């Protein structure tokens, strides 16, 4: 697999399109941090990290839907920085997703964080994806 983050986003996107309640993904540290951000911002209902000693481990994500309309909480997931073309942004040039309504997830020297957190800390980094 050449791009595990794109695979992570695609599995979530496909599960929401198929109206699944839970999606299971292979784990990595950056995927765990992205999952925590998605949960903190209210895009997913819950998550569980299952770590094995000999195996890579998995992440189980409980997806969130509107109780009345059954529409998924995540409307759009977009991978920005790809292995063939990395996208970096300075602290002064961080992107705003949907004029501040969406979230851009960044990988910085301090760790994985949202665009708003990076702006407050005045730090730039690699723009991983947009979520709204």
pLDDT tens per residue, range 16-49: 999 999 999 999 999 999 999 999 999 999 999 9
pTM above 0.85, yes or no: yes
Helix or strand (DSSP H, E) at 116: helix 115-121
Using DSSP, state whether 73 is helix, strand or coil.
coil
Using DSSP, state whether 115 is helix, strand or coil.
helix
| Domains assigned to the chain | 4-131 (3.30.1490.10)
Q: Backbone phi, then psi, for 92, in 5-degree steps?
A: -80, -15
DSSP assignment letter at 110: S
Q: What is the pLDDT of residues 97-114, one digit of tens each?
A: 999 999 999 999 999 999
In order, the DSSP letters of 3-22 are -HHHHHHHHHHHHHHTT-SE
Q: Backbone phi, then psi, for 94, in 5-degree steps?
A: -65, 140
């Amino acid at each position: 697999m050449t791009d595990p983050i794109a695979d992570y986003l695609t599995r979530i996107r496909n599960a929401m399109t198929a109206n699944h309640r839970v999606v299971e993904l292979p784990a990595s540290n950056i995927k765990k941090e992205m999952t925590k951000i998605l949960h903190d911002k209210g895009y997913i209902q819950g998550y569980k990290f299952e770590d094995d000693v000999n195996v890579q481990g998995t992440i189980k994500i409980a997806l969130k839907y509107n109780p009345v309309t059954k529409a998924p909480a995540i409307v759009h997931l977009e991978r920005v920085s790809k292995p063939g073309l990395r996208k970096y942004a300075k602290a002064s040039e961080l992107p705003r997703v949907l004029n501040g309504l969406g979230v851009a997830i960044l990988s910085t020297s301090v760790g994985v964080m949202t665009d708003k957190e990076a702006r407050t800390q005045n730090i730039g980094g690699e723009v991983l994806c947009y979520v709204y």
